[in-house]
Amino acid sequence: MKYIREGLTALWHGELSVAVLDATAVTVSMVRGDFATAGSVMFMLNLGEILEDWTHKKSVADLAGAMSSECGQGLAAKGRYGGTGSHW
């Protein structure tokens, strides 16, 4: 029912968005009595949200790792005291 609520909210605000299309697919399936299809659509939408969250978290972690690695390499290139890299 989450998808139907999100679709109605979008319509209420005058938006025609993916949420409206999702809500339409679920609602039409339920009105036709095809609860298996409605359930499958909601399952796939939920799976898509899970994958989106996982991808976002992984991207942020990878970016943070790349930035910290880059900073570490930059500091090593300058040398311990911020010089040119040579100790003499």
How much is the pLDDT for 74?
A: 58
pLDDT along the chain (88 residues), means of 10: 92 94 96 96 96 95 86 59 52
Give residue 76's pLDDT: 54
What is the token pair recorded at 75? 């500091």
Nearest CA to 19 out of 30, 31, 34, 5 is that of 5
In the prediction, which pLDDT does 75 show? 53
In this structure, is the dihedral angle defined by the CA atoms of residues 60, 62, 66 and 68, taken in order, positive or negative? positive
Calculate Rg over the CA atoms of the chain: 25
